[in-house]
């Protein structure tokens, strides 16, 4: 049976709970334990799938097709453990499950209440798969004291009581603000936040205190005293240059030791930190720099493309170069001479996105990259726009476009080379979708296999493999009927679904490196195992940088 570590936050949001959880997961793995990480989000959306990237950052997709919080991406990047649908839940989903049960009469006419019905639903969720790992790390979103969070805090209190003594611990993150005027670090917000926790029956075992300044022993002792935590379980967390320093940094200040100590696991197995030492060595000893333009829609908010920027960092680490990404608003490329914004970059990346706004700028970026032989990586929408560009400018289908934009506008303006496919095959089963389905249920989601053409660049990227597997999240597909005319003009459909119906990869034949993929390879990239497409895209950019 797994031991449970609950991770909560207080004082302010954005303290880096997700990162602390992920780093702790990595450190427990380094000591030979198996882990799984989970996120419980108190908001009322049923899942983040329909939330704007401006609201909640990127939607992270799991192999089994769940649309989740971007924290699950951090968990995977640090532990390499593939997240599952059952690793994330929101209050919206919990309430919707409870209400569905009520409608089915499963509560036998009882009055439905937060305690026990909602809390039981949360506890059932926590218990899923508890026999599979040594440690289950469960992060509660939000901040202690939030109204929506209460049922979750109550559920973890009950859960810890239901279990044998010593099976569950609580790690709480807080902030220690620094008052420049008096030159002091203040412990009071931390004290208040722990008081808030204790008022709902929860006592932290480990306190992680974010601080911009070194925390003196005196302040540590004070926190320990007032918060009823052992002094060596008050762990300072300082700002880092890179998130990938977190496992080693947390190890140095004793986080994993404090956690194992709280479970009374002794002697603690010795950690093997070589993976993270190598990651840090690659990060700090990069030689040279490549500049990559990311031409997208949600460029004001970096979190909207979190996995993309991380995967680029990983690609840089694999090639021992620093990647400097620059976010370019696609609409700017639609201005006269706008494409000159792309001058001087060593690579152009067009990421995923929804809706028509900015897409003409993306088409312009694909044209620029194709004609000037700049390395191009098109991801999902970025592949679709590359196909539209080739259809217009190589195959003479001058009004080529995507049905997505016609649906949005409510009129037919384009020849849809990207269209809405109603059914396809996943594994051995047929999947159907209607444009009228709920917004949450109309996408091709999760991991799919693509068959790669021998001798293609994409099969070279995957070390000569005949297949690749990556995660999808999109409603529209390239229409395979355009394969022949486009291949006749040099756009190779070098990856297809195993049944040959769905184009998965395109590449420009007469080009040093121009690949579009329908999937999202960035989602599986890790600092210690970079996504092959990002690794090779950065390598191509590095080659161009050396040439000029």
Provide the binding-site residues for ligand GLN, judged by CB under 6 A: 352-354, 380-381, 404, 473-476
- Helices first, then strands: H and E counts in the chain: 18, 25
Indicate the helix (H) or strand (E) that contains 213.
none
Could you give the 3-state DSSP secondary structure of residue 38? strand
Nearest-angstrom CA–CA distance, 386 and 382: 6
CA atoms within 13 A on the CB side of 371: 13
Neighbouring residues of 408: CB distance < 8 A, sequence distance ≥ 6:
355, 356
Q: Are 206 and 17 in contact (CB under 8 A)?
A: no
Could you give the 3-state DSSP secondary structure of residue 412? coil
The total of other beta-carbon atoms located within 10 Å of residue 227's CB is 23
Neighbouring residues of 529: CB distance < 8 A, sequence distance ≥ 6:
80
Output 290 or 468, the one with its CB closest to ligand GLN.
468
Is 168 among the residues known to form the active site?
Answer: no
Nearest-angstrom CA–CA distance, 414 and 396: 13
Least distance in Å: CB of 482 to ligand GLN? 16
Which residues are 327's β-sheet partners? 294
Least distance in Å: CB of 496 to ligand GLN? 17
Q: Are 465 and 451 in contact (CB under 8 A)?
A: no
For residue 464, give the DSSP letter: T
Output 517 or 540, the one with its CB closest to ligand GLN.
517
Nearest to 372, CA basis, from 491, 534, 510, 488:
510
Output 321 or 517, the one with its CB closest to ligand GLN.
517
Least distance in Å: CB of 384 to ligand GLN? 6
Output 170 or 311, the one with its CB closest to ligand GLN.
311
Whose CB is nearest to ligand GLN? 352
Q: Give 102-142 as a DSSP string.
A: HHTTTTTTPPP-IIIIIHHHHHHHHHTTTTS-SEEEEEEPS
Nearest-angstrom CA–CA distance, 7 and 170: 6
Going from the C-alpha of 158 to that of each of 7, 132, 201, the distances in angstroms are 15, 22, 9
Nearest-angstrom CA–CA distance, 496 and 54: 33
Output 392 or 475, the one with its CB closest to ligand GLN.
475
Going from the C-alpha of 115 to that of each of 59, 91, 144, the distances in angstroms are 31, 14, 18
Write down the catalytic residue from 138, 380, 472, 477: 380
Output 133 or 381, the one with its CB closest to ligand GLN.
381
Least distance in Å: CB of 78 to ligand GLN? 24
Nearest-angstrom CA–CA distance, 432 and 241: 46
Which residues are 8's β-sheet partners? 172
Neighbouring residues of 302: CB distance < 8 A, sequence distance ≥ 6:
309, 327
Sheet-wide strand order for 135-140 = 88-90, 35-41, 135-140, 3-9, 168-175, 206-211, 234-238
Output 61 or 208, the one with its CB closest to ligand GLN.
61
Least distance in Å: CB of 383 to ligand GLN? 8
Least distance in Å: CB of 372 to ligand GLN? 24
Q: Are 368 and 350 in contact (CB under 8 A)?
A: no
Output 234 or 312, the one with its CB closest to ligand GLN.
312
Output 353 or 521, the one with its CB closest to ligand GLN.
353
Output 106 or 408, the one with its CB closest to ligand GLN.
408
Phi-psi label, residue 396: left if phi above 0, alpha if psi -120 to 50, beta otherwise: left
When computed from its CA atoms, the radius of gyration of the chain, rounded to whole angstroms, is 25
For residue 51, give the DSSP letter: S
Output 276 or 376, the one with its CB closest to ligand GLN.
376
Least distance in Å: CB of 424 to ligand GLN? 13
Least distance in Å: CB of 51 to ligand GLN? 14
Is 520 among the residues known to form the active site?
Answer: yes
Instruction: Give the residue ranges of DSSP H helices in 328-413.
Output: 359-372, 381-393, 403-409
Q: Which residues are catalytic?
A: 380, 520, 522
């Amino acid at each position: 049976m797994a031991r449970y570590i609950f991770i909560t936050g207080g004082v302010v949001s954005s303290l880096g709970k997700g990162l602390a959880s992920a780093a702790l997961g990595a450190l427990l793995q380094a000591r030979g334990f198996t882990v799984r990480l989970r996120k419980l989000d108190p908001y009322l959306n049923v899942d983040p799938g329909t939330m704007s990237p401006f609201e909640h950052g990127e939607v992270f997709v799991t192999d089994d097709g769940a649309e989740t919080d971007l924290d699950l991406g951090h968990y995977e990047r640090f532990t390499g453990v593939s997240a599952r649908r059952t690793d994330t839940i929101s209050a919206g989903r919990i309430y919707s499950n409870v209400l569905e049960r009520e409608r089915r009469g499963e509560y036998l006419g009882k009055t439905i209440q937060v305690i026990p019905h909602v809390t039981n639903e949360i506890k059932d969720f926590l218990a899923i798969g508890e026999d599979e790992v040594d440690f289950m790390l469960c992060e509660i979103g939000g901040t202690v004291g939030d109204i929506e969070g209460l049922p979750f805090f109550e559920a973890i209190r009950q859960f810890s009581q239901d279990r044998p003594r010593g099976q569950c611990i609580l790690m709480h993150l807080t902030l220690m603000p620094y008052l420049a005027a008096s030159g002091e670090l203040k412990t009071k917000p931390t004290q208040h936040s722990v008081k808030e926790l204790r008022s709902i029956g929860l006592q932290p075992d480990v306190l992680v205190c974010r601080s911009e300044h070194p925390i003196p022993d005196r302040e540590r002792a004070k926190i320990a005293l007032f918060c009823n935590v052992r002094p060596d379980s008050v762990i300072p967390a300082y700002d880092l240059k890179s998130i990938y320093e977190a496992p080693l940094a947390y190890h140095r200040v004793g986080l994993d030791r404090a956690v194992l100590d709280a479970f009374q696991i002794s002697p603690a197995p010795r950690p093997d930190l070589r993976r993270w030492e190598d990651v840090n060595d690659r990060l700090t000893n990069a030689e040279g720099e490549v500049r990559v333009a990311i031409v997208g829609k949600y460029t004001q908010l970096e979190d909207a493309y979190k996995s993309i920027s991380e995967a680029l960092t990983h690609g840089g680490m694999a090639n021992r170069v620093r990647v400097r990404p620059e976010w370019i608003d696609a609409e700017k490329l639609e201005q006269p001479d706008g494409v000159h914004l792309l001058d001087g970059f060593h690579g152009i990346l067009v990421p995923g996105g929804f809706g028509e706004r900015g897409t003409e700028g993306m088409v312009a970026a694909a044209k620029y990259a194709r004609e000037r032989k700049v390395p191009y990586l098109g991801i999902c929408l970025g592949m679709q726009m590359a196909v539209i560009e080739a259809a217009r400018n190589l195959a003479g289908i001058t009004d080529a476009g995507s049905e997505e934009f016609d649906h949005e506008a409510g009129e037919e303006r384009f020849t849809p080379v990207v269209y809405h496919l109603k059914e396809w095959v996943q594994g051995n089963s047929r999947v159907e979708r209607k444009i009228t389905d709920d917004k949450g249920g109309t996408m091709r989601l999760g991991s799919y296999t693509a068959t790669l053409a021998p001798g293609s660049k994409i099969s070279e990227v995957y070390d000569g493999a005949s297949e690749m597997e990556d995660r999808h999240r999109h409603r529209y597909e390239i229409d395979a009927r355009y394969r022949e005319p486009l291949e006749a003009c040099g756009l190779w459909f070098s990856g297809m679904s195993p049944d040959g119906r769905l184009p998965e990869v395109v590449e420009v034949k007469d080009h040093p490196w121009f690949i579009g993929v329908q999937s999202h390879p960035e989602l599986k990239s890790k600092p210690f195992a970079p996504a092959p497409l990002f690794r090779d895209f950065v390598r191509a950019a590095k080659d161009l940088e050396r040439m000029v």
